[in-house]
Each structure stands twice: as structure tokens, then as C-alpha cells.
Amino acid sequence: MATLSLKDGTTLYYNDWGQGRPVVFSHGWPLSADAFEDQMFFLASKGYRVIAHDRRGHGRSSQPWHGNDLDTYADDLAALTEALDLRDAVHVGHSTGGGEVVRYLARHGSARVGKIALIGAIPPLMLKTAANPGGLPLEVFDGIREAVRTDRSRFFKDLTLPFYGYNRPGAKVSEGVRESFWRQGMLAGFPASYFCIKAFSETDQTEDLKGIDVPVLFLHGDDDQIVPIDAAARAAVKLVKNGVLKEYPGGSHGICTTEKDKVNADLLAFIEG
């Protein structure tokens, strides 16, 4: 196992495959680096070095009580990129991982970064506020917290239906994909499963987006039931200096899996463009 010991004693697990320009992946909640295995295998086969860590509290990383916030997640990502001395890296973040990447740039700058891709990502803000009327009400996130506290195993299994759009008429449901999601979710520690909800729902990244000085690709399904596109990518692309949004018609939150060939091709074109 490849691991990195952080200054607070937390151990990060990471995968590091292939050789070439580095492409670094930050996964969503409550998953792990395995959520990006399709993209990683594809890009490693195309001559890139692909790296993905299990966020603190998730997957095979250790499960600290503290640090389940975007600032710490971003600092952990910075520690990993510095330890591996990654240069001109392309950072890819899905969902909460997109917020992690954006906050990483805000806190640590773009000296090591060439481009970023945000897939179904949470910025600028998921929570409905007076300044963000298109967001989701706090009651939605309170309900997620209660479901995690009550029976997170059942909740994670049920979450796969809207996550992958499997609750839509005519959807081709993969029980294997559902089981993989559940397995990854149950590897996450209870503290991260619970506290990360506040991190991904209440962190306002409007100013973070405005400060990004590298090219940004947004990929987002227009039927994303987890991170609705209007308050996310459609709003975020207007805040960055050099951004392009590619919408996936009928696409779910889980397009990295359900439309992996299209995502892979779009990522490759962006990296090589």
C-alpha cells in the first residue's frame, strides 16, 4: 500500500499508476479512490501518471475525528502533491472532490497545477441562502445527517438509485455498481460520513472560483439529482476566468461510471488540448 503520513498523524492511502504528466483525482463523498478507476485505467493506458487518494476518513485512509472540512481536505491534497513533487498536474474532482480541488487552489495556488476538471462538483454552494436562492434547503442536508446517523448502510444502498439515475424510467440498473458504491461508503468512517455533509453543503466557494487562474473544464449531467446543475456548474462556470461547461443530457451524478467512455474522452481531449 502507498501511504502518506500527515503532520497531524493521519495516514492517507493513495493509488499511483503509470508514468507521464500527472493527473490527480479527488473523489466524492462517501466514496474512495476506487470511484475513479475507469478514468485512471484509461488515462494510464494513454501515457499519463494517475494518482488518487482516499480522503481522510474515507476508504483505506485512517479515520480521525477531526479535519472533516474543505480546508483540511485541501491541505491534505497539497501535502500529497508536494510529497510526490507533482508539477503541471491536471486535477480532477468529482462532487465533494471538486470542492476540494477548488479550495486547494484557493489556499495553495496554482504553481503545481496546469488545469482542473470539475465533474458534478459542489461549488459554488449547495445550500440555499438569501444570496443563493437556487440551492437546496438546509432541511435536505439535515435529512441526510439523520439518515446516516440512523442506518447509514441502508442509506448508502438507497442513495445509489438517484446517484446513478437508476430511479428514472428505462434506466439500466447495475447491481454491481450499486454494491461497489455501498462497499466504498461503508469503508468510510462514521465521523467522516457525518461531518463531511456540512463540509460539502455549507462551504461557500464563490470567491475561490473567482481566483482560479488555470483552465477549467466542467462536466455535469443535466439530470443530476444529487448536485443540481443550475446552482452548481451553470453558476460556477460564470465565476471562473477560463472555463468551459459540457452538459450531459439526461446525465446523473454518477456519469464517471454510467457514461465513462464519454467522460474519459472529454478528459483526454481537455488534457491534451
Residues that are catalytic: 95, 224, 253
77 and 26 in contact (C-beta within 8 Å)? yes
Question: What is the C-alpha separation between 105 and 113, in angstroms, rounded?
Answer: 8
List beta partners, residue 17: 50
Sign of CA dihedral 45, 46, 48, 51: negative
Question: What is the C-alpha separation between 87 and 111, in angstroms, rounded?
Answer: 8
Question: What is the C-alpha separation between 110 and 107, in angstroms, rounded?
Answer: 9
Buried b (16+ CB within 10 A) or exposed e, 102-125: bbbbbebebebbbbbbbbbbbbbb
45 and 96 in contact (C-beta within 8 Å)? no
Q: What 3-state class would DSSP assign to 42?
A: helix
Closest-CA residue to 245 (of 259, 230, 256)? 230
Task: Convert 115-129 into a string of H (helix), E (strand) and C (coil).
Answer: EEEEECCCCCCCECC
Closest-CA residue to 135 (of 61, 53, 222, 201)? 201
Pairing between β-strand 11-17 and β-strand 49-53 as defined by DSSP bridges: antiparallel
Distance of CA 135 to the CA centre of its chain: 18
